[in-house]
Structure 1
């Protein structure tokens, strides 16, 4: 029995070290669960008694998919009370951070009740719910750019940001709709322009390209601001003078690897 004590202690110590290592990796990453924009539809739900359970069921189906792939879409119900849902995390999020971001989106989006549709853009993921099939849509009247703070950047940063954005569009189309990039402005000043581009994975390459081209055009209108985001029907894009990108890991979410 005396020999069992060191063994148990050793096992506990090993468990604690593994837990600490996992927590350290989690802290290093960022789920980017900050809400950028929520938009709700204008049409009231047809039948609350039916629509609400359908919405909840759709979100649960999507949740199961998000835990393994970082992307999910589902349909629940029939007729006017059918609920169509889609969610996706951006490509640099780990699956753990993706689950955290989706959990936040799932908490916020129901504020659109009693309207039967809504979208939420977070800095790490996107979610949409409708009462019709929207899965092939990549543009719409609600597409917009959201510009950052009032910090104005010089012409060197603007040129770097433009290069980063346009390169990301080209790279994303060839990389399953996802790209990230960095263009150095000044090595001496440790200044760079960072960019992320992501299409929803239900889109084909042609629709993805069209969405990102429109997004890049609108987001560059934010210059000379230090940051800008494009919130489009079928894609998301962001540039910044701050490195907001997570380190790439093997189980990145939106690339489906």
Structure 2
């Protein structure tokens, strides 16, 4: 009898350990926006690889404590500077899960390179072996425009009003701001260590570039080294879908919550099935011992 109880307790403990969590990140937040990889690979001596792994582990550890963190791993010729940042409207759980995904994407897409930038919808990672100042500035890293011309005579005025609100909003202290203006939804964010003035200047450049680059199409995004800006337009009465920004049905929040609800439901179903299998196994084991 004692041995049977011990076996059952061990199985239940194992089930609890491997039970899937239902605090699932919204799938759209893990969408890969872009990645850039250095053409220079690490030397095959293993030192850089160990330092990079240590850097990733440190960044993941701090992802549970805040939305932005930068650090340097290693020393001397083997030092690697790295930074992560989550979107300002993410909860702490979503931020942590998003940052956990970044090293996987970096290794998969870039391999053993000395510098890389991986931008997911909800967070980004950037690292560089050597001088951390090489990651500063307002160099354009990535841009993309929609393909559908915006309808409505007031579109340009509405977009400019939204852009102005974002530029003022990010200087309120958080470096992140999202706003909707007559169907134009705009989001801007600066790297977490920028001063208020530098954030304003960077985002001014990003907003001007996305306006110039995308013209009158219904969506656009521009990522600079230390800030980015995106917009999406839904004419009045249109439902629209712009899920890559978490903007679905005319509202940034609606898309994010829809994705999270789906993820939680799927995770819940998986968890229930796992519990059922564990209980069935325990019952079968008990019956087998009873037969003896």
Question: Shared fold by TM > 0.5?
Answer: yes
Deviation at 1:53, TM superposition (A): 0.9
For residues 207 and 33 of structure 1, the distance between their equivalents in structure 2, rounded to whole angstroms, comes to 28
Cα pair 1:196 1:239 within 8 Å, conserved: yes
Match of 2:31 among 30, 34, 48: 34
Q: 2:191 aligned with 1:200, yes or no?
A: yes
Structure 2: how far apart are the matches of 1:207 and 1:225? 29
Task: Return the offset for 1:133.
Answer: 3.9
Measure how far apart 1:143 and its partner are: 3.4
SS of equivalent to 2:29:
coil
SS in 2 for 1:201: coil
Q: Does 1:225 align with 2:217?
A: yes
Which deviates the most, 67-76 or 137-146? 137-146
Residues 1:214 and 2:199 aligned together: no
Aligned-pair CA distance for 1:31: 5.5
Rg larger for: 2
Question: Is structure 2 residue 89 aligned with structure 1 residue 92?
Answer: yes
Check 1:82–1:47 CA distance in 2 against 1; reply closer, same or farther (3 A cut).
farther
Q: Please give the alpha-carbon distance, in whole angstroms, between the structure 2 residues aligned to 1:36 and 1:129.
A: 17
Matches of 1:174 and 1:103, distance apart in 2: 29
* Aligned twin of 1:108: 105
The aligned counterpart of 2:229 is 237
Structure 2 counterpart of 1:246, from 245, 253, 263: 253
Query: Could you say what the CA RMSD is over the residues aligned between the two structures, in angstroms?
Result: 2.5
Task: Give deviations 1:83-102, integer Å, cap 9, x for gaps.
Answer: 11100001111111112221
Deviates more, 1:34-43 or 1:98-107: 98-107
Question: Matches of 1:135 and 1:220 in 2, distance apart?
Answer: 28
Q: Alpha carbons of 1:104 and 1:246: their partners in 2 closer, same or farther (altered >3 Å)?
A: farther
Pairs within 5 Å for 1:1-257? 32-46=29-43, 48-110=45-107, 111-134=109-132, 137-148=135-146, 150-154=147-151, 155-184=153-182, 192-221=183-212, 222-241=214-233, 242=242, 244=247, 245-246=252-253
SS of the counterpart of 2:173?
coil
**5+ residue gaps in structure 2?**
1-20, 234-241, 258-292
Between the aligned partners of 2:117 and 2:50, the Cα distance in structure 1 is 19
| Count of residue pairs the alignment pairs up | 218
> TM-score w.r.t. structure 1 length?
0.76
SS at match of 1:212: helix
Greater helix fraction, Structure 1 or Structure 2: 2
Within 2, Cα distance between the matches of 1:57 and 1:132?
Answer: 16
- In structure 1, what is the Cα distance between the partners aligned to 2:104 and 2:92? 18
1-structure distance, mates of 2:157, 2:102: 34
Counterpart of 1:246 in 2: which secondary structure? helix
Q: Secondary structure at the match of 2:149?
A: coil
Alpha-carbon displacement from aligned partner over 1:187-219 (angstroms, at most 9, x marks no partner): xxxxx1111111111222222122111111111
4+ residue segments displaced more than 3 Å: 135-138, 140-144, 246-249
Change (3 A) 1:106 1:79: same
